[in-house]
């Protein structure tokens, strides 16, 4: 692509720079509007600066990716209501044989759940549980939180639905779910194992400390023992009706819910669910798991991923036979809007011709059929993923890498896409800012009542650098088209 006019190059670069700054530093003092608003601002500036027309901006939004992302978030929400993540949490402590065994379990469960339910979702649900387990056993939280976030990133590489950048790659490359899985799974398995081993080696002394006898009597709070709730007024009436209809069989409301009554005046108490209610609950869970299994089988059979995910989400809404608003409220609409703004911004930056010019300079040294070329390509992806973030990196490099590799062979083209998926995701482990999953773990751990822990940037970096370099190298060796 030829370079645009100097004016468009300058204005487009300014718009992209504003998007990048707000995406990496959402609370920057000059303009603390956050990532979502920053993405929309970047996209709007591309139109205002006439780098893109309004029609081109709309065309830049990939609806198939948004549909796939929406569908997987809805399905994850219903899995959470079906206690899937609670069962995963229980596996962490079942017949545990010590701190090192616990590290391995966290790595394994985090990786598996991320491959199926996305890394961000897994980190959001499991962080508090992992932190409480560490406190219960009188162990430092740091290695366990690192195990959760790093394994979530590595595990999410295995499937097209594991993280947002994989969704983009699977859609643009037309690689089937099965081909994606078989191409990256060996690297994922070994990568998770090496990551766990590195954690154990780095924190051997801390993980070898014996638990004090008096600490063993400390109370450990699980998800089943929560006794207080804070609901928004918008969902009060729905919850009241759901309780009377058996949706929340263990919960009773004392007193009515009306417009003049505050949340503090509403009293909640527990009662034992009836046998009929327990069977309804078990039947509902079974339906959720069957639909999810059916979705995964359909994806493996090569059905359209976006359509399959949305179909599964709608099936669960219908089977639930209740107002779907509570589950839809769990969908991260901010993330969907962020993607829309990002698509427009990246497309505008592509129109300036700068990415094409940079790729033309790098292409001769980044041949996919040469060891040195793969190393150069991986290094570029690694650096860009930490500077620009992984999804914009995929949008900027993906098509160019694939076109260059296609000149060699079809297999090389697939390998290029898989390498992009692997390196851009594993690169998130390099620093605390490299992945949304890292930030979720950090924020969630900090906000846990009475157990808050701050995972610092430097503590993460000490582990993140060796882990990222080692795991990335493993994947480059094992990934096969």
Residue with tokens 């009706």: 241
In a domain, 434, yes or no: yes
pLDDT at 281 over 70: yes
Stronger pLDDT, 101 or 190, i.e. the higher one: 190
Burial (CB count within 10 angstroms: exposed 0-12, middle 13-18, buried 19+), residue 191: buried
Output the six-digit token pair for 124: 């959001």
C-alpha 307, offset from chain centre: 20
Q: What is the pLDDT of residue 271?
A: 57
Q: What is the pLDDT of residue 451?
A: 66
269 membership: H or E segment, kind and range: strand 267-270
In a domain, 57, yes or no: yes
Stronger pLDDT, 436 or 354, i.e. the higher one: 354
Tens digit of each residue's pLDDT (9 = 90 or more) over 111-137: 998 898 778 777 877 887 888 888 877
Burial 281-293 (b: 16+ CB within 10 A, else e): beebbebbeebbe
DSSP 331: S
Q: What is the pLDDT of residue 12?
A: 93
Lowest mean pLDDT of 119-128, 180-189, 209-218, 396-405, name the range: 209-218
Q: What is the pLDDT of residue 171?
A: 86
Q: What is the pLDDT of residue 273?
A: 72
- Percent of the chain, pLDDT > 90? 31
Lowest mean pLDDT of 95-104, 218-227, 242-251, name the range: 218-227
Q: What is the pLDDT of residue 14?
A: 95
Q: What is the pLDDT of residue 419?
A: 95
Q: What is the pLDDT of residue 263?
A: 41
Q: What is the pLDDT of residue 98?
A: 79
In this prediction, residue 1 has a pLDDT band, given cuts at 50, 70 and 90, of: low
Stronger pLDDT, 235 or 415, i.e. the higher one: 415
The C-alpha atoms of residue 342 and residue 337 are separated, in whole angstroms, by 9
Mean per-residue pLDDT for 407-424? 92
Is-contact 162 424, C-beta < 8 A?
Answer: no
Contacts 24+ apart (CB under 8 A), 121-126: 121/73, 121/76, 122/85, 122/148, 122/152, 122/437, 123/148, 123/149, 123/152, 123/437, 123/440, 123/441, 123/444, 124/440, 124/444, 125/80, 125/85, 126/85, 126/88, 126/89
In a domain, 260, yes or no: no
Lowest mean pLDDT of 64-68, 151-155, 266-270, 325-329, name the range: 266-270
Across the chain, mean pLDDT equals: 81
Q: What is the pLDDT of residue 338?
A: 84
Stronger pLDDT, 167 or 55, i.e. the higher one: 55
pLDDT at 248 over 60: no
In a domain, 438, yes or no: yes
Q: What is the pLDDT of residue 414?
A: 93
Q: What is the pLDDT of residue 416?
A: 93
Stronger pLDDT, 221 or 4, i.e. the higher one: 4
pLDDT at 57 over 70: yes
Please count the structural domains in the chain: 1
C-alpha 240, offset from chain centre: 32
Global pTM? 0.71
In a domain, 235, yes or no: no
Print the domain residue range for 127.
6-206+330-478
Mean per-residue pLDDT for 404-428? 92
In a domain, 302, yes or no: no
- Percent of the chain, pLDDT > 70? 84
In a domain, 456, yes or no: yes
The C-alpha atoms of residue 191 and residue 111 are separated, in whole angstroms, by 10
Stronger pLDDT, 429 or 243, i.e. the higher one: 429
Under 8 Å CB-to-CB from 236, ≥6 apart: which residues? Answer: 257, 263, 266
Mean per-residue pLDDT for 188-192? 96
Q: How far is CA 350 from CA 94, 450, 465, in A?
A: 51, 48, 30
Mean per-residue pLDDT for 162-184? 89
pLDDT at 234 over 70: no
pLDDT at 154 over 50: yes
In a domain, 123, yes or no: yes
């Amino acid at each position: 692509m030829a370079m645009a006019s100097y004016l468009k190059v300058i204005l487009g670069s300014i718009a992209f720079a504003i998007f990048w700054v707000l995406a990496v530093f959402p609370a920057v003092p000059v303009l603390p509007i956050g990532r979502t608003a920053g993405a929309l601002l970047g996209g709007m500036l591309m139109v205002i600066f006439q780098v893109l027309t309004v029609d081109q901006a709309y065309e830049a939004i990939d609806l198939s990716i948004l549909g796939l992302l929406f569908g997987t978030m809805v399905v994850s929400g219903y899995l959470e209501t079906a206690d899937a993540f609670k069962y995963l949490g229980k596996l962490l402590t079942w017949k545990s044989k010590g701190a090192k065994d616990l590290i391995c379990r966290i790595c394994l469960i985090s990786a598996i759940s991320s491959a199926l339910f996305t890394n961000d979702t897994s980190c959001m649900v499991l962080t508090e549980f992992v932190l409480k387990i560490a406190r219960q056993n009188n162990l430092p939280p740091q290695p366990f939180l690192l195990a959760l976030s790093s394994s979530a990133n590595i595990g999410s590489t295995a499937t097209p639905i594991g993280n947002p950048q994989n969704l983009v790659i699977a859609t643009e490359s037309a690689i089937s779910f099965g081909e994606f899985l078989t191409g990256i799974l060996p690297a994922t398995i070994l990568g998770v194992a090496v990551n766990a081993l590195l954690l154990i080696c780095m924190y051997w002394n801390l993980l070898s400390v014996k638990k004090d006898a008096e600490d063993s009597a400390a109370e450990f709070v699980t998800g089943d023992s929560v006794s207080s709730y804070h609901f928004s007024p918008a969902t009060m009436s729905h919850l009241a009706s759901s309780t009377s209809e058996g949706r929340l069989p263990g919960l009773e409301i004392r007193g009515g819910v009306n417009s003049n009554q505050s949340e503090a005046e509403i009293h909640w108490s527990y009662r034992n669910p009836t046998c009929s209610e327990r069977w309804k609950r078990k039947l509902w869970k079974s339906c959720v798991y069957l639909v999810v299994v059916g979705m995964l089988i359909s994806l493996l059979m090569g059905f359209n991923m976006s359509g399959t995910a949305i179909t599964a989400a709608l099936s669960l809404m219908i089977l639930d036979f209740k107002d779907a608003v509570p589950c839809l409220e769990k969908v991260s609409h901010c993330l969907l809007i962020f993607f829309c703004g990002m698509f427009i911004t990246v497309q505008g930056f592509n129109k300036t011709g700068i990415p094409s010019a940079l790729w033309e300079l790098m292409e001769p040294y980044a041949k996919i059929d040469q060891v040195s070329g793969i190393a150069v390509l991986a290094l570029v992806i690694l650096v860009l993923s930490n500077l620009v973030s992984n999804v914009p990196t995929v949008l900027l490099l993906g098509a160019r890498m694939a076109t260059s590799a296609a000149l060699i062979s079809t297999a090389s083209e697939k390998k290029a896409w898989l390498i992009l998926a692997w390196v851009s995701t594993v690169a998130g482990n390099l620093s605390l800012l490299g992945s949304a999953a890292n930030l979720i773990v950090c924020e969630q751990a900090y906000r846990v009542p009475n157990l808050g822990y701050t995972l610092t940037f430097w503590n993460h970096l000490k582990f993140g650098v060796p882990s990222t370099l080692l795991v990335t190298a493993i994947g480059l060796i094992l990934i096969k088209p």
